[in-house]
Amino acid sequence: MDLTTSTHRLCRTAIALAGLWIIPAPTDGWSLDTTEPPPAERRETLTLADAALRALQHNLDISISRHTKESRLADIVIEQAKFDPTFSINGQFNRQVSPLNRPVLGFTSPTLSSIQAFDQNNTTFTADINQNLITGGNIGLNYSPARNTVSGAQACFGRPSNDPACSRGGFLFNPSWTGGLGVTLTQPLLRNAGIDVNKTFIKVAQNNADVEQHVFRDRVLTVIATVEQTYWEVVFANENLKVAQAALKAAEELLATNRAKSKAGIMSIVDVLQAEAAMASRVEQVLVAERTIRDQGDQLRRLLNPGEEDLRQDNVLIPTDPPATALEPISLQETIDIAIDQRPEIIQAKKNVDSGELNQQFARNQMLPTLSLQGTMGMAGLGGDYGESFTRNFSGDFYNYGAGLVLSYPLGNRAAVSTYNKRQLEAQNAEVALIRARQQVIIGVREAVRRVQTDFKRIETTRSARIMAEKQLQAEQERLKVGMSTTRFVLDFQRDLATARGNELRATIDYNKSLSNLARHKATTLDRYNFQLE
């Protein structure tokens, strides 16, 4: 293969790589269709806000965290439901036929000459309502009407006093209806007494729900920050391709000039070879830059969580947001205050401290003896039918009441004491964790602020270096035109200019990534997009 053929191949390759769409040709080298991209490839413009929103909508970790948060809200209802009233009803029918071995007043004669059957039928209905009180007590209301029938017995109600059955002492009502209405109250006076103690687990469940809410927010911030970092890497990859293409174009122009001069006999073939080698190197840089665009684009697409079919497609994401180059005013102390006030980790740690104190107070209460006040009150009624029994039940003629105290205390009480000691240690650990979280936030914010300031200074420094590299290259090209320089020197300055442009681009992208990192440390990422968590 002669030099001319090799040169033509390199030229065709360089021209092809100057564009974005490369397809294999049936002949040697690469050919390029610069009119339209292949139909299998689709370009999609994407803003940073759209990328963040799409990532949040489809992120699997956020979906799991959302479900966990909802389960924590359910825990609050579960704890509150312990104070919901309980209603129960019970109805029974019982028949008992017993052999009598002795007379029964009102049923048999004073003496028995044979075994008689005592046939008794009872129908009962019971309705109860029980309510656990927020003070730790319990109140219950019971209503239990019953119907009783004794087969073979006589009732005297409404009969004359000389009736033979009444003279034997028959039942007043047969069948008879009885009614009972009772109220019971139990109230602890030491252990489990008081509203604060009995609301402990409700407050702990609320704290856990708040913690999960901030865990959810922390994951949202992490997802957005990751998308931002990757988005700016995609921007860098696209802009870096332009830098590589510009370097390739400069190498092409130098090669064309050297070939013309060599053909005219005023330049040696060595200069042409140097230019061709430089152009081949620039071709490689374009290839690497093109691959980096696809790699970073795939990373960003993965964060957007598209479907599998979409991932199989050859889509190219084109970022549209330009990187920021202006310095944002930053007050270190104000930034630290914002971070301490809004960082989810610190809020979680505070809630854990609050829960630790609640559990400690509850455990301290459990070391007390059990002293409870118990009281009962009831009314009764009797009649030949339900209505008569009900009326007498609420007349107040028949009643009962009582009150008492119950005291118990386990000797040694080791379980309660050990639990209290354990809760004390947990509360102390929660306080230490809060202090550590605050320290980590302060150090992280300080590092993030320094990183922003340093990266902005890098932009200014690399911009100056790029301007000087442009001037040096321009001067060296003028020197080459008048024969005072060599191709090697021009190529070196071209390489230095490409490096300077890449460094400036890298510093700009790093500055934007540092701004994203600072917003993440301040927990203000959502504010930048006006996103709100519901």
Q: How much is the pLDDT for 172?
A: 83
CA distance 477 to 251: 12
Give the pLDDT band of residue 160 (cuts 50, 70, 90): low
Report pTM. 0.73
Nearest to 225 by CA among 525, 528, 527, 444: 525
pLDDT reading at 12 higher than 80? no
Tokens read off for 376: 């009962």
CA distance 285 to 301: 24
| 119 half-sphere exposure, CB direction, 13 A CA radius | 7
* Mean pLDDT of the 205-219 span: 89
Stretch 229-237: mean pLDDT: 95
Where residue 41 falls among pLDDT bands split at 50, 70, 90? low
Of 124, 127, 125, 126, the residue nearest 86 (C-alpha):
127
Q: 155-159, 339-343, 516-520: which range is least confident on average?
A: 155-159
- Give the model's pLDDT for residue 162: 57
**DSSP state at residue 481:** H
Average pLDDT over residues 62-75: 82
Q: Which residue has the tokens 């320094």?
A: 450
- Superfamily of domain 45-69+206-353+429-529 in the CATH hierarchy: Outer membrane efflux proteins (OEP) (1.20.1600.10)
Distance of CA 465 to the CA centre of its chain: 46
In this prediction, residues 300-328 reach a mean pLDDT of 83
Look-up: residue for tokens 């059990």? Answer: 370
Mean pLDDT across 102-117? 76
pLDDT tens readout for residues 389-429: 999 888 888 999 999 999 999 888 999 999 999 999 999 99
Least confident stretch, 43-47, 382-386, 529-533: 529-533
Residue 119's pLDDT band (cuts 50, 70, 90): confident
H/E stretch holding 278 reads: helix 269-303
Per residue in 488-500, pLDDT (tens digit) is 899 999 999 999 9
Place of tokens 């960003």: 300
Angstrom distance (rounded) from CA 441 to CA 521: 7
Q: What is the dihedral of CA 473, 477, 479, 483, to 10 degrees?
A: 140
pLDDT at 262 over 60: yes
| Type and span of the H or E element at 507 | helix 487-522
pLDDT per position as a tens digit, 163-178? 555 544 567 888 899 9
Q: Residue 72 contacts by C-beta under 8 Å, 6 or more apart in sequence?
A: 205, 208, 209, 211, 212, 213
Given a cut of 80, whether residue 378 has pLDDT beyond it is yes
pLDDT computed for residue 64 by the predictor: 80
Q: Are 180 and 144 in contact (CB under 8 A)?
A: yes
Strands annotated E in 189-224: none
Q: Domain boundaries in the chain?
A: 45-69+206-353+429-529, 89-132+138-191+383-408
Percent of the chain with pLDDT over 70: 88
Sign of CA dihedral 259, 260, 265, 271: negative
Q: What is the mean pLDDT of the chain?
A: 85
pLDDT of residue 214: 87
Percent of the chain with pLDDT over 90: 58
DSSP string, 422-461: HHHHHHHHHHHHHHHHHHHHHHHHHHHHHHHHHHHHHHHH
Residue 36, both tokens: 């339209």
Residues paired with 91 in a beta bridge: 125
Q: What mean pLDDT is predicted for residues 235-251?
A: 93
Average pLDDT estimate for 27-42 = 42
Question: What is the chain's alpha carbon radius of gyration, rounded to the nearest angstrom?
Answer: 45
Query: Which residues, in sequence order, are bridge partners of residue 89?
Result: 127
- pLDDT value for 215: 87
Least confident of 139-153, 200-214, 247-261, 299-313: 299-313
| Tokens at 358, concatenated | 């609640």
Mean pLDDT of 53-80: 84
| β partners of residue 184 | 140, 376
Between helix 200-264 and helix 269-303 the angle, nearest 10°, is 160
Is the pLDDT score of 72 beyond 70? yes
- pLDDT value for 154: 65
Alpha-carbon gap, residue 335 to 341, rounded angstroms: 10
Residue-level pLDDT at 28: 33
